[in-house]
Structure 1
Amino acid sequence: MAEEVDRLSALPLEIKTSILHLLAIDGAVRTSTLSRSWRDVWTHQSNLFFDLSCSDDPEWLREWVEIAADVICSIQGPIIDFDLCYYAETYASLDLFRFLHLLFHKGGLQKLWIYNTGCTALVQLPYFQSLKVLDLSDIHLRLPSDFQGFEQLEALRLSCVFIFQEDIQLLIDGSKNLKVFRGSVHSDGLVPLSLTFNAPLLTTIQYYFTESMTQVRVLNAPCLEEADISARIGPESSLEECAVIVAPATKLMADIAMVSDFSLDFETLKCFSQVPAPRALTIQFPRLRSLHLEGMNPCLDQRVFATFCCLLRNMPILESLEIKCFDPLIMLGDLDEPDALKINECLKKEEISCLEQSLRRLTVSVTKSIHIAVMGMICFIMLNAKVLKLVEILHWEENEVEASIVQALNLVEKASSDVNVVFSSME
C-alpha cells in the first residue's frame, strides 16, 4: 500500500492537475489531505465550476459564496474557464460583481459562463482581454464605460439577457473574431433593439425574436454556414404579435440565404403564415442542404403546413429534413372529420425541385403520438420525394407509436420506389 501511495505522490504536477480537472472543486480541495505532495495541487486548477443553485437557504448560500471567493483567491495561476450556476434574489448582483472582480485581477480568463436562476441580476462585465467564450443567462448586462471590444471573443451566447441598444451593438462590433452568436436578448431601455452583424468570421447565428426586436441584419458574413431563428410566441398569439416578429425575421432570412444548414421553429412558421409576408416566402436558399423544424405542435395548422410547402419550393438542393415535435394535443384518432379534410386538401403531388431531385432523408422525432399536421408533412414528403431513401420516426421508449399510425404510413403512396420507413426509440 505504501508503495502505491509513493507512486501516486510521485506523479508530475501536470498529471495531478489533469486528474483534479475531472473532479468538482470541493472534491479537488479534499485531495489536499492525501499527502504533503498533494496539499497544494488543487491551487493549480485553471478551470472552476461552482453550482450555487442547489439551495435557496440564505445562510447556506452566504457560506458557499465565501468559500468560492476564497478558492478563486487561492488559485496560483490564471483561471482559464469559470462556470457559475447561481440562485439568489438579494445578493446576486453584488456577489457576481465580486466574482468578476477577482477573475479580472487573476487574468487569463478565456471562457465565462454565468447562469442565474433566482432573478435577473445586474452584471457589470469587466474588460477581459483574453476572453474567447462568453455565455450569460438571466442577467441585466452592462459594459465598461471605456469598452473597446473583446478582440479574442469567438462565441457569444446570451439567453434572456437584458441590455441597452448601444451595449449590445458595441459588444458585437468589438468582437472582430466572432464565429458563433446565439442570442435571446431584450431591450433594457425604452429603445427597442436593432442589431447589425458585420462579422467576416461568423459561421453560426441563432436568434430568438421578441416583441422588442425591430431589426436584425447580417451585412457581411461570407463564412456563415448554420442559422437558427425562432420566435418567442405562444400557440394563442394574436395577429399583432406575429406581425412584430415577421419584419425582422424576413430581413434576417434574406441576409442568411446562403447557409447550408438552417433551423426554424413552428412558432416562426406560424408568424409567416398569419400575416401577409410574400417576401418571406420568395427567399431562395440555393446552398441549403439540411433543414430542421422544431416546436410545439399546437402551433401547427393548415396555414403553417402551406407555409412549410412554400419554403420547400425555395430550397432546390435540400437533402435532409428533420422535424422535432413536442407535446402534441391532438391525436390522430381524436380528430373531427372537417379538421382531417383540411389537412388532406394539402396532400397532393407537386413539382418541387428538392423533392424531385435531392431530398433523401426525413427524420421525425415525437414525444407522444404524431400530430395530424406532422402526419400530413410526412405523407406529403413520401408522396412527392422521388429520390427519398429513408424515413425515420423517432419516439421515446415509453411512448409507443400507435398501430394506426404505423399502418397509415405503410399505406401512403410512395413516390420513391426504394424508400425505407423505420421506427426507432430515442435513448
Structure 2
Amino acid sequence: MAGEDGFSSLPIEIKTFILSLVEVKEAVRSSALARSWRQVWTHLPCLRLNYRRDRQGCSDFTDVSWLERVRHLVSSIQGPLLVFELDLSWAMFLGLDLDSGLMLQSTIDLLLQKGGVETLDLSFPTSRWLLHLPSFDNMQVLILSHCDIILPDGFLGFNRLRTLRMLDIGIRNYDMNFFLQTSRNLTSLAILRCHPLGEPLTFSINISLPLLKNLEFETISEIETLSIVSAPHLEHAMIAFRYLSCSLNVARMLRGLVTNVDRVSSLELQFDVVRSLSLVSLPSNFTFAQLRYFKFYLTIDEVDKRVYESFGWLLHSMPFLQELEIALFGGANSRFKETAILMEELLVRRHVGWDCLDRTLTKVTVGMSKLDVMSSIALIKFFLLNASMLQLMKIVHLMDCDVIQRMIRELQEVGITSLGAKVIIFNRDSQETIFLYDD
C-alpha cells in the first residue's frame, strides 16, 4: 500500500510480539506511532506491572492513579491475558486504604472475567491486605507474596495448577489443606513463612500430591502436624524451621518429615533442623537411596555430642551422596572454643563404614562466618581425612587475612586422603581465591 512503512504493514501477531519485548508503558505509547498501531497493545498476552519501576521519574505519581491505570490496562485487553504479574511491594499504602484494596480486588475479579490466565504473580507490601482468591480454570503458575487469603464460597480449586509459591501468606488451616487437596497436579510447591488465620492458631498440613517434584517448606509459626502422606515423585526438598524452639514435638515431626522424603535426589535442611533431630532416636537402617546433593545449616556454638551423632546418622544414610554443602553460623552464645574442642575430639580422626565418604562424595563446600573458624577447621579436616574420592573442597569465608593464614597452616598439616583433591579458599568480599593441594 502506497505510503505505508514496513513496520505498519506487519501482521498483528508480529507487532504484538515486538511490543511484548518492551515495558508495558512503552507498549501503550506505541499507539502514537500510526493508526495501524493504535490498538495493537490491547492484544498483549502478558502484563508485567511494577509499582517501583513505573514510579521512577514521575513527579506527579500517586498510588491511586497508578491503581486506576492498572485496572484500565486490564479492562482494555481484548484477547486472552495469559500472564499477569503485579509487583506492589513498594506501595506502602496497601492494606491501609480501603478504596485501594477494593480497586485491587476488582482488578483480580476482572482478570477472572477475561479468562485464560495461566500465570498469576502478585507481590504486596508487608502491610496486610485481604485477598479473596477466585478459581481460575486455566491457572498453571500461582505466586503470592505478603497478603492474607480467604477462599470464597464455591471455590473449586486450581485443577491445572503446576506451580504454587506462597511467601508470608496468612491463610486459614482449612483453606490451606483444601487448597492443596484441589491442586492434585502440582509439581512444585513452596510454603514459606506462612501463618494461620483465625482458629486454630497452628497449622496441621497434610501433603498428598502424586506429581510433586519440588517441595520447599519454611515456617516461623507453630506447627501442630506437618506430614508428607504421599509424594512418590519428589526429587528436591527444602525444610526449614526458623526461630522455633527445638522441642521434642518439633523434633518428632521433623524426623517424620525427613524420613518421608527418602526418594529425593536433592535435600536441604536449614536452620535448626539437624539440631532438632538430635532430640529423638533415629532409625539405624534408614537410607536416602537416591540422594546425590545435600545441604544443611548448623549453628556452630550450639553443637554437642548429640548433634554430631545426627550428623553421623545423616552421612550414614546417604550411601551415594556426591555433593555436600554446609553453611555454618555463629549464634548468640560464646561456646566456640568448647565446640571446637568437642568437634576436634569427635571428627578429626579416621572413620570407617561411611559409604559416601569411601565411594561417592566428590565435592564439599563449607561456608563460614568470622566467628566459627576453629570449629570450621575441625569440620574441614574431617572431610580431608575421610573423603577418599574427594575432588574439590571449597571453603567460602568472610574472615581476615591473619585468620586465613592460620587456617592454611593447619590444613597443610593434614594428611589428606584423596591425593587428587583440590582445596579452594574463597573470600566473598574480596573475591580472592587461594588454592591448596592443587597439582
- Normalised by the length of structure 1, the TM-score is 0.86
Cα distance in 1 for partners of 2:60, 2:286 equals: 53
Cα distance in 1 for partners of 2:385, 2:188 equals: 38
Cα distance in 2 for partners of 1:214, 1:222 equals: 24
Please say if residues 281 and 311 of structure 1, whose CA atoms lie closer than 8 Å, have aligned partners that are also in contact: no
Q: Which of 156, 165, 169 matches 1:148?
A: 156
Matched, 1:206 2:201: no
Question: What does residue 418 of structure 2 align with?
Answer: 416
Change (3 A) 1:178 1:337: closer
Range that drifts further, 169-178 or 190-199: 190-199
Cα distance in 1 for partners of 2:401, 2:228 equals: 42
Matched, 1:317 2:316: no
Change (3 A) 1:385 1:159: same
Question: What does residue 197 of structure 2 align with?
Answer: 188
Shift of 1:103: 0.5
Shift of 1:300: 5.5
Task: Tell me the amino acid that sits aligned with residue 159 of structure 1.
Answer: L
Shift of 1:288: 1.0
Cα distance in 2 for partners of 1:398, 1:20 equals: 51
Q: Deviation per CA, 1:107-148: give whole Å up to 9, x if none.
A: 101111111114121110011000001111111111121122
Cα distance in 1 for partners of 2:153, 2:13 equals: 39
Number of positions where the alignment pairs a residue of Structure 1 with one of Structure 2: 413
Shift of 1:319: 0.9
Question: What does residue 341 of structure 2 align with?
Answer: 341
Cα distance in 2 for partners of 1:420, 1:193 equals: 46
- After the TM superposition, which residues 218-237 of structure 1 pair with which residues of structure 2 at under 5 Å, given as runs? 218-233=228-243
Cα distance in 2 for partners of 1:49, 1:164 equals: 29
Q: Which of 341, 352, 359 matches 2:361?
A: 359
Cα distance in 1 for partners of 2:336, 2:260 equals: 41
Shift of 1:151: 0.7
Cα distance in 1 for partners of 2:338, 2:178 equals: 53
Q: Deviation per CA, 1:11-69: give whole Å up to 9, x if none.
A: 33222222222222112212222222222221111111222256799971101000111
Match of 1:323, SS? strand
Question: What does residue 351 of structure 2 align with?
Answer: 350
Shift of 1:402: 2.5
Please say if residues 393 and 424 of structure 1, whose CA atoms lie closer than 8 Å, have aligned partners that are also in contact: yes
Change (3 A) 1:407 1:223: same
Match of 1:318, SS? coil
Question: What does residue 268 of structure 1 align with?
Answer: 273
Question: What does residue 98 of structure 1 align with?
Answer: 106
Question: What does residue 216 of structure 1 align with?
Answer: 226
Q: Deviation per CA, 1:124-175: give whole Å up to 9, x if none.
A: 0011000001111111111121122211001111111111121111111111
Cα distance in 1 for partners of 2:264, 2:183 equals: 21
Match of 1:7, SS? coil
Question: What does residue 389 of structure 2 align with?
Answer: 387
Q: Which of 76, 83, 86 matches 2:85?
A: 83
Cα distance in 2 for partners of 1:245, 1:26 equals: 50
State the percentage of identical aligned residues: 29
Question: What does residue 406 of structure 1 align with?
Answer: 408
Question: What does residue 250 of structure 1 align with?
Answer: 255
Matched, 1:290 2:281: no
Matched, 1:136 2:144: yes
Change (3 A) 1:335 1:300: closer
Please say if residues 370 and 399 of structure 2, whose CA atoms lie closer than 8 Å, have aligned partners that are also in contact: no
Shift of 1:365: 4.1
Shift of 1:199: 1.3
Question: What does residue 43 of structure 1 align with?
Answer: 42
Task: Tell me the amino acid that sits aligned with residue 71 of structure 2.
Answer: A
Change (3 A) 1:94 1:349: farther
Shift of 1:400: 11
Question: What does residue 378 of structure 2 align with?
Answer: 376
Change (3 A) 1:63 1:368: farther
Unaligned ranges ≥5, structure 2: 432-439
Change (3 A) 1:393 1:252: same
Unaligned ranges ≥5, structure 1: none
Task: Tell me the amino acid that sits aligned with residue 349 of structure 1.
Answer: R
